[in-house]
Structure 1
Amino acid sequence: MRRNGSIWVLTTAFVFAGVATTARAQQISEARIRELIKQAADRVANGEISGGVAQPAPAGAARPVVRLTLDDAVKFALERNLDIAVQRLNPEINDLSVASIRSVYHPSLTSTLVTQSTTTPSTSTISGTTGAGEGVIVGLGVYNGGIAQSIPWGGGSMTVALNNDRRTTTSLNTLYNPTYNTNWSGSYVQPILRGFKIDSTRQQLQVTKISRDISDVQLRATITNTLSNVRNAYWDYVFATQAVEVARQSLALAAKLVQDNQTRVEVGTMAPIDVVSAQSEQATRRQALVSAESSRRTTELALKRLIVAGTQDANWNAQLDPVDRPEFRAEPVDIDAAVRNALSRRTDLEIAKKHISANDFTLKFLQDQLKPQADVTATYGLVGLGGSQLITAGTGVNRTVTGSLPGGYGDALSTLFGRNFPRWTVSMAFSYPLGLSSQEASVARARVQLNQVQAQMKQIELQVATDVTNAAVTSQSAAEAVQAAQAARELSQKKLEAEQSKFEVGMSTNYFVVQA
């Protein structure tokens, strides 16, 4: 009995000793866990855990980093954007088209120089030879000059010409040898019905000028849209960059959770299945980081596409570092004022108005083609004659040259300016097609097209008002959403800080910190 009591006493002593030893072991294990967790956290902070933080590229392969503000991006776009560069050439092309059409009204100089000699056999007594079959040699020199020009006012055209020739001959029947003939003439053609107010050239000129104005508006539209796209691309890139940073922090916390759980498994306070769960979460966060990196590269390329002048641009191969951050200011939107401003400044409306003007000129031209054709032509001319005058004796075939009076081209000019031999002509040509003509069908079609463009303009105005109103409503909703998101972020930040505080005192785990 006493022996059994001794055994119970020893057993009880061993039990209490084991309990004390187990409690002391548990206290040491928890302290060790805290120390290991702290070491793991330090390793994560120093980037020593694989997969937690993206490793920097080798020094030789590192891309140059360009710190880029929003103003810099806008400046680069204005200077280097290829869409703007292409659009800037369109006004120049239209300027050349206008100059090409306007060249019709430039004066045109004409000239003719001819020299020839002709020998004709004599077949009659009036040929001026002394015997049958003798040759009559005639020499001719022509020196003509003139100027022609279309008039941009009234659709008229004028022509002024001065024709001169010098003739020599062996014929005895001539009175001058050499003979100088000079002929000055001026002609003006004026349409008085069709083509007086507008013609095809003036219609094309006006339409081309409007096209030139449209190209200016399109250039402004391209610049406006490009700058808007640059701003959107810049903020998208800022968002993508910050998303990468958030994904890296999330991956670091997930890696820290894996390290923490592995430490707990090593000391026997956690089941291995919990490590697998943490590793799964780490893999998910790594996948999110890869997706964020891909989105950042995509948004960076989209921004570069708008601000570089080609693949040879220095910024194309550089890494852009967006340094600006958005500042939110909720401002009220006056929808009525915004709609009025849009209707007065929208480029698509301005282009539609230009198209209406172009169609109006086309309609006026086609209506003018329905008028009768009535052209008045006025011509005035002077003739001059000069040369060495032959003195002859006898008549007919018995006529012989006994001498000459010297003369030349000056005599021809003297008689020309003396208006010794004037001539003038005034005429009018009239024509009018009978029955339905193709011009009437063209006018009807042009009227329909003009009405269609006017209806399209009203459609654009309605669409502009709708777009602006929707944008204003969306802006107000977005402002409210941003304010709500700011409040949610502040609460989430407080929740994260609370979880981190609980984690520091051992009342939480990295899993809940990651979820926070």
Structure 2
Amino acid sequence: MAPNRTIWILTGVFVLACTAAQAQVSDARIHELIRQAAEKVSQTDASVQPPVAGAAAQARPVVRLTLDEAVKLTLDRNLDIAVQRLNPEINDIAIASVRSVYSPTLTSTIGPQSVTQLPTSALQLGNNGTATINDTMTFNGGIAQSVPWGGGSFSLALNNFKRTTTSNNALFNPQFNSSLSFAYTQPLLRNFRIDSTRQQLQVTKINRDISDVQLRATVTNTLSNVRNAYWDYVFAVQSVEVAQKSVALAEQLVKDNQTRVEVGTMAPIDVVQAQSQAATARQNLAVAQQAMRTGELAVKRLIVSGTEDPNWSVQIDPVDRPDFVAQSIDVEAAVRRALNERTDLDIAKKNVTSNDVTLKFLSDQLKPQADFNVSYIPQGVGGTELFRDTSILGSPISRTENLGISNAFSTLLHNQYPQWTAQVNFSYPLGTSVQEANVARARVQLTQVQAQVKQIELQVATDVTNAAVTVESNGERVQAAQAARELAEKQLEAEQSKFEVGMSTNYNVIQSQRDLATAQNNELQAILNYRKSLVELERLQQTTLQNLNITVLTAGGGGGTAVRTTSGQ
């Protein structure tokens, strides 16, 4: 709005001057009108001065920040990295949860039981022809476990009970029974090579590896972002410096023109023109300061851990400046590195492995179920042995012998009464359309992710090649911008020299100042674009961490993940 007001003021001055000339007004009156216009322009200039944000910024503590320090702060405090760093730990917990299936399970049974049998047989009669009552106290304990190979499982149990009875035909009363039971089940077809637990465990491990790769990708992208943000901020700071120089040049021209007017070598209208240029320069300075503040916030967003972080409320002074050193790019080597290091390609390949595991599991489920079961149970008996004529039901007891519970364990250990089984259980469902459909779908999905790998490889090669071309192109632009800036400096010097001897106009000097400011900004922008194109090329190759000497340390099984800087940039 200020330039428009200036134009209107200049127009008014011109009209007044013409009117004064027609009315044959004195030169003193013309000078007075121009002075009033200059005062109004000065008031307009004051209205477009940069806001008090600069003063507020000076009140904040200043922290000098290098690019290396920004990278280290990002590794330590960036919230995106902090969030992603937890995902490997979450997957470690998931792996431990799946592995818990293979943890042994302890079992035990302790308690009494009383059974009164119906007198449906003479063998079941108790004393005086009453019903037989059996009281049993059980003490059982065992262990069961699934094994992580072959899909098998086993159980081992020690069973003990003490029984008292009112039966007239019992040979032990009380009776102690002990048995050691061992059983093993081994799948022979289905679930032998892979079962649901092993499939889930393999997929979970792959997901754990993917989370590590995703963390590396997050670190790489975040470091690329902070480096770009740092250079953007540096460009904004340098743009402010260029704008300040433009203001200084414009204000110096105003002073010089005022001096020339006072000595009578220049018309007063040239002072107004110079003041208009100074107002425009100050307006550009205000815009540059706003961009600098925005750039500072972009850097802080990446290097602080929250609004309570000390660096959030300080003023950051970027120390480093982007230099230009032309680099030759080996495109084939860059593409080769990208194909080896790209995290998205690595994730796609791991997805292929995961889908392949799922396909193997679903294909295995089409096989018949054939399980081999084997068990072996040595037994022992003890207690008070009752001797009677076993050929006669209910015969009286002739004598007793107290063997105790030790006899039960003795006969158990001597394996006097073994019991064993060995058998194969076979089953096959009639009609497997659902399982076959699952296999067909998994096979198509595997083909799809394999095609995605090739798609990503092609995209990687394309992106890296384009990035390399951009680096070379931006390098040429820097050289051209540097040459243009040098020519603009020489042009301004020439115009100022000619202006001092009266061979150039005030307008030409102002235009040369504008051209120099534009050339300086173009040079800064070209160098910034070159630096950012190098950062982008590193990001596309996924070589940022290697170039910055940063190592992402991973430790499965709950070990977590750490990011370590081995040396400075």
TM-score range relative to shorter protein: 0.7 to 0.9
* Equivalent in the alignment of 2:460: 464
Cα pair 2:117 2:124 within 8 Å, conserved: no
Deviations 1:155-208 (A, max 9, x none): 111111111111123444422222111122111111111111111111111111
* Aligned equivalent of 1:64: 61
> AA paired with 1:85?
A
SS across alignment from 1:496: helix
Mapped partners of 1:144, 1:504: distance in 2: 113
SS at structure 1 position matched to 2:240: helix
* Cα distance change of structure 1 residues 106 and 514 upon mapping to structure 2, 3 Å threshold: same
Kept after mapping to 2: 8 A contact 1:214/1:351 = yes
CA contact (8 A) 2:379 2:418 kept: yes
1:309 aligned counterpart, secondary structure:
coil
Query: Where in structure 2 are the equivalents of 1:463-502 lying within 5 Å?
Result: 463-501=459-497
Q: Which amino acid aligns with 1:80?
A: R
Equivalent-residue separation in structure 2 for 1:201 and 1:130 (angstroms) = 56
Structure 1 residue 77 corresponds to structure 2 residue 74: yes
Higher mean Cα deviation, 501-510 or 481-490?
501-510
Moved more, 300-309 or 52-61: 52-61
Q: Could you tell me how far 1:243 is from its partner in structure 2?
A: 0.7
Please say if 1:158 is aligned against 2:154: yes
Tell me: CA distance 1:441–1:374, structure 2 relative to 1, closer, same or farther (3 Å).
same
- Residues matched between the structures, number: 471
Secondary structure, counterpart of 1:147 in structure 2: strand
Whether the 8 Å contact between 2:57 and 2:315 is mirrored in structure 1 is no
The alignment status of 1:344 with 2:340, answered yes or no, reads yes
Query: What is the TM-score normalised by the length of structure 2?
Result: 0.75
1:86-485 mapped onto 2 (5 Å cutoff): 86-117=83-114, 129-131=126-128, 138-258=134-254, 274=270, 276-391=272-387, 399-401=395-397, 403-485=399-481
Worse-superposed segment, 400-409 or 199-208:
400-409
C-alpha spacing 1:513/1:382, structure 2 compared with 1 (3 Å): same
> 1:494 Cα shift?
2.3
In 2, the alpha carbon distance for the partners of 1:56 and 1:80 equals 27
Q: Deviations over 1:17-67 (max 9, x none)?
A: xxxxxxxxxxxx9xxxxxxxxxxxxxxxxxxx8966776866898111110
Whether the 8 Å CA contact 1:53–1:251 is kept in 2: the answer is no
Q: Residues 52 and 248 of structure 1 are in contact (CA less than 8 Å); yes or no, is this contact kept in structure 2?
A: no
What is the CA-CA distance between 1:267 and the residue it aligns to? Answer: 7.8
Indicate conservation of the 8 Å contact 2:127/2:166, yes or no.
no
**1:346 Cα offset (Å):** 1.1
**Which residue of the partner structure matches residue 527 of structure 2?**
none
Counterpart position of 1:511:
510
In structure 2, C-alpha distance between the alignment counterparts of 1:482 and 1:394, rounded to whole Å: 114
CA distance in 2: counterparts of 1:476 and 1:391, whole angstroms:
107
Aligned AA for 1:285?
A: A
Q: What's the CA shift for 1:72?
A: 0.4
Whether contact under 8 Å (2:169, 2:394) holds in the other structure is no
Aligned partners of 1:378 and 1:424 also within 8 Å: yes
> Displacement of 1:119 after TM fit?
6.6
Distance 1:397 1:452, change over 3 A: closer
1:14 aligns with none
CA distances 1:183-237 after superposition (whole Å, capped 9, x unpaired): 2211111111111111111111111111111111111111111111111111000
- Pair 1:323–1:99, CA change in 2 (3 A): same
CA contact 2:48–2:283 (8 Å) conserved in 1: no
Residues 244 and 130 of structure 1: is their aligned pair in 2 closer, same or farther, counting only changes over 3 Å?
same
CA gap of 1:371–1:512, structure 2 versus 1, over 3 A, is closer
In structure 2, distance between residues paired with 1:332 and 1:388: 98
Give the fraction of aligned pairs with identical amino acids, expressed as a percent. 63
Would the aligned equivalents of 1:172 and 1:401 in 2 still touch at CA under 8 Å? Answer: no
Three-state SS of the structure 2 residue aligned to 1:331 is coil
Are the equivalent residues in 1 in contact too, given 2:366–2:432 (CA < 8 A)?
no
The alignment partner of 1:234 has SS state of: helix
For the residues of structure 2 that align with 1:141 and 1:289, how far apart are their CA atoms? Answer: 95
Q: Please state how far the C-alpha of 1:136 moved relative to its aligned partner.
A: 5.9
Q: Which amino acid aligns with 1:208?
A: T
CA distance in structure 2 between the partners assigned to 1:397 and 1:438 by the alignment: 61
Kindly tell me: are residues 203 and 393 of structure 1, through their superposed partners in 2, closer, same or farther at Cα, counting changes over 3 Å?
Answer: closer
Alignment check: 8 A CA contact 1:68 1:322 kept: yes
Preserved CA contact (<8 Å) 1:52 1:252: no
2:558 corresponding residue in structure 1: none
Q: CA deviation at 1:264?
A: 6.5
Deviations 1:106-147 (A, max 9, x none): 221111111345677989875554446x68654321111111
Cα displacement (A) at 1:376: 1.2
Q: For residue 418 of structure 2, what is the amino acid of its counterpart?
A: P
- Shift of residue 497 of structure 1? 3.4
Inter-CA distance 126–68: structure 2 relative to 1 (3 Å threshold): same
Amino acid at match of 1:474: T
Task: Quote the RMSD (CA, aligned, Å).
Answer: 3.2
Letter matched to residue 325 of structure 2: R
Cα deviation, 1:448-474, whole Å, max 9, x if unaligned, reads: 111111111111111111111111111
Residue identity in the other structure for 2:419? R
Gaps of at least 5 residues in structure 2 are: 1-30, 32-45, 517-569
Indicate conservation of the 8 Å contact 1:159/1:188, yes or no.
yes
CA contact (8 A) 1:53 1:248 kept: no
Q: TM-score, normalised by structure 1?
A: 0.82
CA contact (8 A) 1:247 1:285 kept: yes
